[in-house]
Amino acid sequence: AQSVTQLDSQVPVFEEAPVELRCNYSSSVSVYLFWYVQYPNQGLQLLLKYLSGSTLVKGINGFEAEFNKSQTSFHLRKPSVHISDTAEYFCAVSDKRDGGFKTIFGAGTRLFVKA
Amino acid sequence: DGGITQSPKYLFRKEGQNVTLSCEQNLNHDAMYWYRQDPGQGLRLIYYSQIVNDFQKGDIAEGYSVSREKKESFPLTVTSAQKNPTAFYLCASSLSGHGYTFGSGTRLTVV
């Protein structure tokens, strides 16, 4: 069965420090992987995605993520965070089944950047 | 600009009343989705539609109904059978599994 686990529900970090938000998944087939960001009272916005090719993917706002097939992980990183990065981050995995794509979202990680 | 428009942004429902949430997209995406988000929780799938005139139940479809008469539109009705409808509702669309585009959400409150 398909599942997504975000290992940290909250991550506090000081401004300009590096951050890593962890995501592990399970699936029996090839997957597409995504990270989304949600600011308060807004919808989700796609940060980055892994479909195929290079395992290191770069996204918007200076974020990047690395697909590790052996570890079944897709951790999100940023070398230096800003106050404006405070938001909730969702990892998602999508695979093709029954003629369409099924996507599962993780429970989310709340990133809190402190001055 | 292409995108998804959800309306209204805030909606108040009385006990026993049906309400309809609007979702319109101009991205020419085939697939559309409705998710429910409760405080501190992830997204739960209510209904999805891969093509016009076809839709499937998600994980929490009870008390909800949808229609897909046009490619651009995927309205969600919250019926009186939904006993705990207070939540943030998100509509999304996608093209061949390459990631979702989300609307800005509708916050529904029972009064």
For the segment B22-51, the average pLDDT, to the nearest whole number, is 92
Supply the mean pLDDT for chain A.
92
Residue A4 has pLDDT above 90, yes or no: yes
Closest CA to B86 of B43, B39, B23: B39
Min Cα–Cα distance to chain A from B74, Å: 17
> How many Cβ atoms from other residues are within 10 Å of residue A15's Cβ?
14
Q: Does B100 sit within 8 Å of A103, measured CB to CB?
A: yes
Average pLDDT of span A33-47:
94
Contact assignment for B43 to A41 by CB distance below 8 Å:
no
CA distance A18 to chain B (A): 24
Amino acid occupying residue B73: S
Q: Report DSSP state, residue B70.
A: B
Integer Cα distance of A57 and A36 in angstroms: 14
pLDDT at B44 over 80: yes
- pLDDT, position B2: 73
Q: Do B50 and A94 touch (CB under 8 A)?
A: no
pLDDT class of A67 with cuts at 50, 70, 90: very high
Residues A11-39: what's their mean pLDDT?
93
Looking at residues B97-106, what average pLDDT do you find?
90
Query: B39 — contact with chain A (CB < 8 Å)?
Result: no
Pairs across A and B, CB distance < 8 A = 55
Per-residue model confidence (pLDDT) at position B1:
64
User: What is residue A95's predicted lDDT score, i.e. its pLDDT?
Assistant: 81
